[in-house]
Amino acid sequence: MGFRILGTGTALPERVVTNDDLSEFLDTSDEWISQRTGIKTRHVCTTDSLDDLATRAAEEALSYAGVDASELDLIVCSTTSPDHIVPAQATAVGERIGAACPSFDVAAACAGFIFALDVADGWFARGRARRVLVVAAERYTRLMDWHDRSTCVLFGDGASAAVLGDGGEGFISVHLSTKPDLEVLEVPGLSGSSPFNVSEPRPCTLSMHGGEVFKYGVTSIVQEVRKLAADAGITPQDIDHFVFHQANGRILDSAITRLGIDGDRVVRTLADTGNISSACIPLALDKLVRTGELAAGEYVAMVGFGAGLTTGSCLLQWDEKSAGAATLAKTPSDLSD
């Protein structure tokens, strides 16, 4: 028993911060950021909480799927920037939407949505669920050192969600891996105020070796796409849509060149949202769904990579009962809502 995606949804903060806005307090410019990253704007929380964004994305996905929160058997949330250390971010979503089912988080950085799909697939395979809500919600702007132009210009906030239903056979393959490396991309934990702690506290802000992330990202995309295609007995050129983590436009360009695939088949949201960690992939998938670009029988390859160093990839074959496949009459989502 597998699953199909019944509905998707996205929520972004209202505040849009442009590259020119950043240049007001950073030694940077729109040209510098755009050429190196492909990012023009990002959405940043002001009064929004991550609970707010995650709930709005979940409600939008449930509405699209025609599923009531009372029908959910499981909620899994991918996040590494939650509003709560305890309880789980997924539990906050469940409380707000009125669900009464198990809920927990997964923390696999930018690959987290793929990890969460694999967790959900296990519940379907064991017959423990008929309806599952997967949410990816991130508020990375609170983890930034806003004096470090090499990192703070890259990230934004947002949430995206998918409602899964049992009975589909389109989840063809999934690959999860971790190549343990803490230094390439890290956010230290909270230091607390224990009177017994004599170690030097570290600031809870993100640090990253950009060159290493770049190389790892390109290599991960290329290797994972080739593995997914081999699993299905097809070539990368046979895959209809590619949904990659939106870390850097040049990573996407390099991977496209090395794979020899049509760049028009690669979904891009980076210019408008920046890097939203694990929310990037479901947000890009939601864009495909809402614009009516997915048809029954088409292959969708998704690849996430990030801190850990962690990679998650999966290949879906869209079926006629999946979101957006049976009808294209849905109005495209206004991602600024």
Report d(CA 296, CA 299) in Å as an integer.
Answer: 9
Selecting among 152, 245, 248, 280, the annotated active-site residue is 245
Which amino acid is it at 249? G
Give first-to-last CA distance, the chain, whole Å: 36
On the 0-12 / 13-18 / 19+ scale of CB atoms within 10 A, 337 is: exposed
Selecting among 43, 275, 280, 314, the annotated active-site residue is 275
* Residue 280 near residue 256 (C-beta atoms within 8 A): no
* Residue 222 near residue 216 (C-beta atoms within 8 A): no
Selecting among 45, 77, 110, 280, the annotated active-site residue is 110
Report d(CA 216, CA 69) in Å as an integer.
Answer: 38
Burial string for 292-327 (b: 16+ CB within 10 Å, else e) reads: eebeeebbbbbbbbbbbbbbbbbbbbbbeebbbbee
41-43/103-106 β-pairing: unpaired
Report d(CA 160, CA 115) in Å as an integer.
Answer: 15
* Residue 110 among the catalytic residues: yes
Q: Find, among 37, 58, 32, the residue nearest to 248 by Cα.
A: 37
Residue 324's alpha-carbon distances to 228, 280, 288, 290, in angstroms, are: 23, 19, 9, 7
Backbone angles phi, psi at 173, to 5 degrees: -155, 160
Give the relative orientation of helices 89-97 and 50-65 as an angle to the nearest 10 degrees: 60
Helix (H) or strand (E) holding 119: helix 112-125
Residues designated as active site:
110, 245, 275
